[in-house]
Amino acid sequence: MELDLAISPSGFVFDPRTGATFSANPAARLLLEGMQEGEGLAALVARLQAHFEVGEADDLERDVLEFLRVLQDETLVPAERELEG
């Protein structure tokens, strides 16, 4: 999934379409970077597991999908976009 966002290492996020800015915590920054690289759900979960002490993969999958829904609600990601395997 390509995102047209500028993401700094500190977690500052800029949407050039709208001019909106956001602040992302380290987990959100990792997910946004992975989504920019086209990673699917399994890869995003693995990315979180590699960087943080986190829970079960099933819980992480739900959390990542919820994060995607929030991004869609904020129109940062197209509503029809889904994360694949």
Where exactly are the structural domains of the chain? Answer: 6-73
Residue 83: the pLDDT is 75
Helix (H) or strand (E) holding 21: strand 21-23
Mean pLDDT to the nearest integer, 1-28 = 89
Helix (H) or strand (E) holding 28: helix 26-36
* Rg of the chain taking only CA atoms, in angstroms: 12
Residue 2: the pLDDT is 59
% of the chain with per-residue pLDDT over 70? 94
Q: Do 33 and 7 contact (CB within 8 A), yes or no?
A: yes
Tell me the pTM: 0.86
The type of residue at 46 is A
Mean pLDDT to the nearest integer, 56-73 = 90
Strand partners, 12: 23
